Structure 1
Amino acid sequence: MLNVMNVSQKEMIDQLKLSCKIPGLLEAIATRQIIADAATYAGIKVELEELQQAADALRAANRLIKAEDTWTWLEKHYLSVEDFEQLAEINLISVKLAQHLFADKIEPRFYENQLDYLAAVTYEVILEDEDLAWELFYAVTEGEITFQDVTRQHIQNLELRRAGGYRGIKHRHEFKPDIAAAVFVANPPELLKPIAIAQKVHLIWVEEIIQPKLDQQLRLKIMSELFSDWLKQQIAQVEIIPHFESDSYSQPVQDLLKIA
């Protein structure tokens, strides 16, 4: 037999408080209001066709292929059709506002910070013995063994070992500073000298340095960064004051909250 539990709005708000999620919720509310106000000030409007495209994009992002998928998703998140349209509109207005504010600032940002968009394809083995790391380094550079031999013998993680220590394509800021400094002056393919950091020794094979190209994907990434920075600045200038049904605390709680 299925038990039914009724949950009130007050109980939901209490749980948000006890979960320490109120600050994040308030910031999200402020963010939405800031975007709405800025869009109104800029005269940004949403056309019906644009809204339909935004709704289609929202469904695609949540893998809502069939109509029943959409209804199930709405029920799960306690949303109405009108809520769904509002969510699509908020997403669309955010994109249009970001384009309005920063479309002409993408290229300057790219060329001023071009080094930050460099990327590298690397393979890595992490050791605890620096002497062993140097021994392996010289063995590879002198052709006695291959780096693949090193990965097979010295990587414990099964999946990583199977991938030959492959770390993927990473941008400069995703590396630790000491490692980035060595990776991005390499002449691929090249095995870097062992790099010791916090009692670990990194043996890194640099396969390729990928020069940044200002394509559509990077344009969107830079615009998103600029928009996110702008929102943070706007929120920092706002004092957010929540109003609950009762802001009064019992005397024992007040005593606990006193700062000596």
Structure 2
Amino acid sequence: MNCPQVLPDLKRVIGGEGRALLQRFDLLRPLVEQMVTQTVLADVEISDQDLDQARLELLDQRGYERLDQWSELLHEIGRSHQEVVDRLAGVIRRQSLMREQFAAKAEARFLDRKHELDQVVYSLLRLESSFLARELYLQIESGESNFADLAKRYAEGPERNTNGIVGPVSLTQAHPDLVEKLRVSQPGVLLEPFKISDWWLVVRLERYSPATFTDEVSDRMCREMFDAWVSEQADACLEQLQIPSHEYDESIDSEPMTAFSDFSISK
């Protein structure tokens, strides 16, 4: 798949004013990305067995047990056979292509991003007053009060509505200073109050779950790399759309886009 395969269709079907209107409402890029994706997926072959398995999985998700109940499912969801089969085929093709092209690179990407994928659950009290933070810390530490009750009564952030519990969330979603404290904390150990920006925090790590390289994570890494490749192809297409057509024709002859099979993407 390369950019010249998408651009002629865009220019033939949508004129310059139409493209400008799509661009104005941030619709041109999603359209180009979809065209790139659909064009490259069209070359991926799938078997009837794979499609039947996908149909069975969809039936199971909806509470059905057998393939001969397919018509009942279609009636329930209000879709035609062809609509659903085309959607399932697209999912299968995408997954097959991503694995074929990127599975060998998935673990390396996982290791690069592992610190972003680790999950934590922690209890949090966010307070403006350093004196109140210290008092509540002592109450929890001594066993006089529990974290959940104090959070419902005193917390000044959204944790007030969750009994002070935050997560499970990616470790990197927290403030960098809080991340560093959570990284070195032991589950169940209450941290003394500390200040971040305008807030005093009382924190206790409840659970730290290091990310592991599973099949599900591998697929996620493949999906991220595929999406990055599609984004790069869309960038190239959109750049070509900004130049006069005669220059565009010359650029095809002199500088063809990298073929899909090369899959050269930058980190």
TM-score category, normalised to shorter length: 0.5 to 0.7
Contact in 2 for aligned 1:54/1:91 (Cα 8 Å): no
C-alpha offsets along residues 31-63 of structure 1, whole Å, 9 cap, x if unaligned? 3332344346xx6311112122234445666x4
Q: Report the TM-score, using the length of structure 1 for normalisation.
A: 0.67
Pairing 1:86-165 to 2, within 5 Å after superposition: 86-155=86-155, 164-165=163-164
- In the alignment, structure 1 residue 31 sits paired with structure 2 residue 30: no
TM-score (norm 2): 0.66
**More divergent stretch after superposition (204-213 vs 48-57):** 48-57
Contact 1:128 1:199 in 2 (8 A): yes
Tell me how far apart the structure 2 counterparts of residues 184 and 159 of structure 1 sit (CA, whole Å): 20
The number of residues matched between the two structures is 216
Give the SS at the match of 1:102.
Answer: helix
Whether the aligned pair in 1 keeps the contact of 2:59 and 2:73 (CA below 8 Å) is no
3-state DSSP of counterpart to 1:87: helix
The structural deviation recorded for 1:197 is 4.0
Distance 2:40 2:194 in 1: 48
3-state SS in 1 of match to 2:26: helix
Q: Which has the higher contact order (CA 8 A, sep 6+)?
A: 2
Contact kept? 1:118, 1:210, Cα under 8 Å: yes
Distance 2:115 2:150 in 1: 31
| Runs (5+) with no aligned partner, structure 2 | 1-17, 242-267
- TM superposition shift of 1:156: 7.7
1:9 aligned residue:
none
CA–CA distance in structure 2, aligned partners of residues 71 and 31 of structure 1: 32
Q: 1:57 to 1:231 in 2, by over 3 A?
A: farther
Which residue of 1 is the match for residue 83 of structure 2?
A: 83
Does the 8 Å CA contact 2:141/2:190 hold for their aligned counterparts?
yes
Give the whole-Å Cα distance in 2 for the aligned partners of 1:124 and 1:84. 45
Query: Are the equivalent residues in 1 in contact too, given 2:125–2:159 (CA < 8 A)?
Result: no
Greater Cα shift, 201-210 or 87-96: 201-210
Amino acid at match of 1:178: D
Identity of paired residues, percent?
A: 20
Letter in 1 for 2:122: T
| Structure-to-structure mapping, 1:1-260, within 5 angstroms | 23-24=26-27, 26-39=28-41, 44-58=44-58, 63=62, 65=64, 67-74=71-78, 80-155=80-155, 164-239=163-238
